A and B are shown apart, each in its own frame.
Chain A
Amino acid sequence: MRVLAQIAMVMNLDKCIGCHTCSVTCKQTWTNRTGVEYAWFNNVETKPGIGFPRRYEDQERWRGGWTLDRRGRLMLRSGGRVRRLLSLFSNPHLPALEDYYEPVTYDYDNLLSAPAGPDLPVARPRSVLTGRPTAITWGANWEDGLGGAPEHAGGDPNLSGEWAEKVRFEFEQTFLFHLPRLCEHCLNPACVSACPSGAMYKRAEDGIVLVDQDRCRGWRMCVTACPYKKVYVNHATGKAEKCTFCFPRIEAGQPTVCSETCVGRLRYLGLLLYDADRVGEAAATPDEQDLLDAQRGVFLDPRDPDVIAVARESGIPGDWLEAARRSPVYDLVARYRVALPLHPEYRTLPMVWYVPPLSPVLDAVGAAGGDQDDPDHVFAAVTRLRIPLEYLASLFTAGDTDVVGGVLMKLTALRSYMRAVSLGDAADEADGTALRAVGLDDAEARDLHRLLAVAKYTDRYVVPAAHKEDAAALTAVESGCPVESAGGLSGAGPSAGGRVSLGMPTLRRTSPEGHA
């Protein structure tokens, strides 16, 4: 057993209102620079929908993640090592900019400088890449709220076959939800394994997956390998960039920017202890539908004395173990098992998990004339309404509807029980049958309810600060000598000639015609 700690995230999808605040604050923090205008370390997409970049979930096309070879061993879907080196000169499976979208800015100046005239001046869009006027034809969440769904929804890779036809014509009346996505900081990161120069790595202390900007040589294989398409090429620097899990904030014991600013307060951050020795074995689990359990099996119980002993031995500090015991992520993922990973079948063992949304089912119950508050109606719907269920299963459980259904039933039982409790019935009077059927008792129900519904900032984000004694070394590793760059913030990432501390491009686009 080799115990490592990972800072992980859970999102409760029922609460996401699709406001994109997380994406915008993330962008302002990390990607408001030349070269990554098109990149969204955090994006929110409408589901069902095509996703960002377009159809990124179609691994037949993009070759992300892992598969098993004929002998059952893990293999990157984009091919073996030799194959990868042979495709260095032109990567056949790299999304083009068109698969993301053409970034634009606007002729803001025209609003001020246009001569007086009968018409209101307008700010026309211009491509940031060419400086030319352009029509905006795609974006990071173009079909927001199912806009254009009849045209585009069939493009969702999770909808296949005849099922797609059916859903395409029905789902507009049935369901829609938002899916915020960031790098999963996987336990078995395909991006790291595909990086020919070994520039990408997983931090042993907190599991954050980073690109060493000084060692990246621009081979762009990580982009293909990541099945979630969460590594981006900075086209100005020619290097890969990705979500950093806001590691400077995490090290200071603060939540990531997307979590901090989430309007729906639906994000949870906490530690998970895992056994690094079992990662490979779990990722190679033969049946895709067993991957969820296999991954849960890699997580260690932070209250188990054996685990604590080994963890202490391997240098995980006491306050981190304490934080692991208070981790809301552990509770949602392993204790109550209501959180599920996104696309476990990619075999990267992702570490951003989701409480699946109940709303598609409730909507369906309502549409069918049922009572959304009656657990029997909802239970019946969960077992009968194939469309939302199968769709959710294809996202979160490699198609296993029983597991998603189980989670939804748990949420339903919890909902009705707590409704009865808070509407005044004494707890023992509230009907606990449904609750017991999903394996919860009164205390657990109240605890889970507190976690899902009323948890405060400090309960949602349990982030232990990196250790002071490590901090100096940390800064030195990430950005060079803290003394040499005295006065300046020695932040993350690259430093060119000892001057620049953030990933600033060496290339400054001379703004064509004054725009860009």
Chain B
Amino acid sequence: MNTGTSSLAPASVGGAGLLLWVAVPYACLAVFVAGHVWRYRQDQFGWTSRTSQLLEHRWLRWGSPLFHLGTFMVIAGHVVGLAVPASWTRAVGVDEHLYHAAAVWAGSAAGAAMVAGLGMLCARRLLTRRIRLGTDRSDKVLFPLLSLTVLLGIWATAAHNVLGGGYDYRETVSVWFRGLFALSPRPEAIADAPLLFRLHALSACLLFAAWPFTRLVHVWSAPVGYLVRPYLVYRRRTPAPAAPCRTRSRSRS
């Protein structure tokens, strides 16, 4: 796959390229979607952040907000970097230089916060015995995979865009990423990207595949509705057993 030419013809990637940059991403995406549907219907009871603050709060006090805020910024950065074509940002007057500077500065801050936070969260998982014993199988997949993805991403950015001469992933990785969702895969676009970017993309695919089976499902339950609902919640037993036996994902699993 490293032998691809600069031509963007689909034929230019081999079988390995197709597997890695088309089959694997789509498979992971399928697992991501199907997994969420399945889990939401089957396991409302397990759908939680699985808070561990009760058992350990000193690391969490700093680690969790740092990690989460860093993550939100990083996600925002990815949305801009991956989903928005460079031509669009240019169209609103953000030239390549400005974009690059913003990405490097904001990205560094976000990345640093995320890495520091995640480091603390991992540290408490490893060092606090109570937390370690409460770490289940899904956590044992999630934390390494999440850390790997984050580290690869940071490393790629640092190596190429902060210390290195600058690499414009918006012309390659982003094209591939958007191709996936446009249903016209462009595996050749990423096939030549530097190794760190490719590894980062792959581990991210795996993270998305693992997502529905871990505590990360709590992300979709971000309680924004709380801002507008009435304070006092009454519930009434339904007056008649209208259809108690139909599967309702809300009230039963």
Report the minimum CB–CB distance from B69 to chain A (whole Å): 8
B253 proximity list for chain A (CB < 8 A): 214, 480, 494-498
Interface string of A197-227 (1 = CB under 8 A from B): 1101111110000000111111110000000
Q: Which of B43, B68, B231, B239 has the most CB of A within 10 A?
A: B231
Q: Is the CB of A237 within 8 A of B48?
A: yes
Binds A, one of B29-37, B78-86, B100-108, B128-136: B128-136
- Cβ–Cβ < 8 Å partners of B47 in chain A: 214, 217
What 1/0 flags go to A268-304 for Cβ under 8 Å of B? 0000000010011000000000000000000000000
Residue of B nearest to A199 (CB): B233
> Could you tell me the distance between the alpha carbons of A509 and B132 in the complex, rounded to whole angstroms?
11
List the one stretch of B57-65, B141-149, B191-199 in contact with chain A: B57-65
Q: A198-B233, A480-B251 are in contact. Are A473 and B240 (CB under 8 A)?
A: yes
A residues 481-496 touching B (CB-CB < 8 Å)? 481-484, 494-496
Chain A neighbourhood of B61, CB < 8 A: 90, 92
Which A217-274 residues have C-beta < 8 A from chain B?
Answer: 217-220, 233, 235-239
Interface size class of chain A, counting residues whose CB lies under 8 Å from the partner chain: 35 or more
| Bound-state Cα–Cα, A216 to B218, Å | 10
Question: In the assembly, what is the distance between CA of A209 and CA of B153, in Å?
Answer: 46
Select the stretch in B6-14, B91-99, B172-180, B222-230 that faces chain A.
B222-230
Interface pair B252/A479, CB less than 8 Å apart: yes
Inside 8 A of B232's CB, which chain A residues have their CB?
Answer: 188-189, 192-193, 202, 279-280
- B221 part of interface (Cβ distance < 8 Å): yes
Of chain B, the residue at the smallest CB distance from A196 is B223
Chain A residue with Cβ nearest B240: A473
B89 surroundings in chain A (CB, below 8 A): none
Determine if A386 is an interface residue (Cβ-Cβ < 8 Å): no
What distance in Å separates the Cβ of B43 from its nearest Cβ neighbour in chain A? 6
Closest Cβ neighbor of A216 among chain B residues? B48
Greatest chain B CB density within 10 A among A193, A200, A477 is at A477
A82 at the interface (CB under 8 A from B): yes
Q: Is the interface of B mostly helix, strand, loop or mixed?
A: loop
Q: Cβ of A215 and Cβ of B44 under 8 Å apart?
A: yes
For chain B residues 204-253, which have a beta carbon within 8 Å of chain A?
Answer: 215, 218, 221, 223-227, 229, 231-242, 244-245, 250-253
What residues of A have a CB within 8 angstroms of the CB of B245 in the complex? 476, 481, 483-484
Can you name the residue of chain A whose Cβ is closest to the Cβ of B46? A506
List the B residue with the shortest CB-CB distance to A494.
B45
* Contact between chains at B45 and A193 (CB < 8 Å): no
User: Given contacts A197-B221, A238-B51, A473-B237, are A130 and B229 in contact (CB under 8 A)?
Assistant: no
Taking CB atoms, residues of chain B closer than 8 Å to A475 are 244
Indicate if the CB atoms of B244 and A512 lie closer than 8 Å. Answer: no
A472 at interface, CB cutoff 8 A? yes
A97 contacts the other chain (CB 8 A): yes
Nearest A residue to B129 by beta-carbon distance? A130
Which B residues are in CB contact (< 8 Å) with A466? Answer: 237
Is the Cβ of B49 less than 8 Å from the Cβ of A238? yes
Determine whether B42 belongs to the interface, using a CB cutoff of 8 Å to chain A: yes
If A85-B223, A214-B44 touch, whether A90 touches B238 (CB-CB below 8 Å) is no
A217 to B225, CA, bound (A): 13
A121 to chain B, nearest CB (A): 26
Q: Is A430 an interface residue (CB 8 A)?
A: no
Known: A235-B52, A473-B244, A476-B244. A497 touches B234 (CB 8 A): no
Query: What's the tally of chain B residues with a CB closer than 8 Å to chain A?
Result: 55
Is the CB–CB distance between B57 and A213 below 8 Å? no
With A188-B232, A200-B233, A219-B49 known to touch, is A85 a contact of B252 (CB < 8 Å)?
Answer: no
The verdict on B5 contacting chain A, using a C-beta distance below 8 Å, is no
CB < 8 Å neighbour of A470 from B64, B136, B239: B239
B11 → A minimal CB distance (Å): 47
Any B CB within 8 A of the CB of A507: yes
CA A189 to CA B233, docked complex, whole Å: 9
A132 within 8 A of B: yes
Q: Pick the contact of A220: B51, B221, B226 (CB < 8 A).
A: B51
Report the minimal beta-carbon distance from A96 to chain B, rounded to whole angstroms: 5
Q: How far is the CA of A94 from the CA of B139 in the complex (A)?
A: 23
Contact of B48 among A89, A217, A472 (CB under 8 A): A217
The answer for the CA separation of A220 and B223 in the assembled complex, in Å, is 12
- CB-CB under 8 A from B133, the residues of chain A are 129-131, 509, 512
Given contacts A193-B231, A204-B234, contact A90 B60 (CB under 8 A): yes
Give the contacts of A93-134 with B (CB-CB under 8 A): 94-97, 129-132
A238:B45 contact, CB within 8 angstroms: no
Identify which of B136, B221, B234 contacts A217 (C-beta below 8 A): B221
- The interface centre, meaning the residue of B45, B48, B60, B61 with most chain A CB atoms within 10 A of its CB, is B45
Q: B183 within 8 Å of A by Cβ?
A: no
Chain A contacts of B218 at CB under 8 A? 217-218
Find chain A residues with CB under 8 A from B49 CB: 217-219, 238
CB distance from B45 to the nearest CB of A (A): 4
User: Is the CB of B55 closer than 8 A to any CB of chain A?
Assistant: yes
Residue of B nearest to A223 (CB): B54
Q: Does A91 contact B (CB under 8 A)?
A: yes
A438 CB to nearest chain B CB (Å): 37
Cα A198 to Cα B223 in complex, Å, equals 9
Contact yes or no, B53 A509, CB < 8 A = no
Is A451 located at the chain interface by the 8 A CB criterion? Answer: no
Bound: A9/B253 CA distance, A: 33
- Interface residue ranges of B110-139 to A (CB < 8 Å): 129-130, 133-134, 136
Interface: B50 (CB within 8 A): yes
- Besides A473-B242, A496-B253, 6 other A-B contacts (C-beta < 8 A): A85-B223, A89-B65, A95-B54, A192-B232, A495-B252, A496-B46
Which B residues lie at the A interface, using CB under 8 A? 42-55, 57, 60-62, 64-65, 67-69, 129-130, 133-134, 136, 215, 218, 221, 223-227, 229, 231-242, 244-245, 250-253
20 contacts between A and B (CB under 8 A): A89-B67, A89-B68, A90-B65, A92-B61, A94-B53, A94-B54, A94-B57, A203-B236, A214-B44, A215-B44, A215-B250, A237-B48, A279-B232, A472-B244, A473-B239, A476-B245, A481-B245, A481-B252, A497-B42, A507-B136
Report, nearest first, the 5 A-B pairs whose CB atoms are least far apart. A476-B244, A238-B50, A480-B252, A196-B223, A214-B44
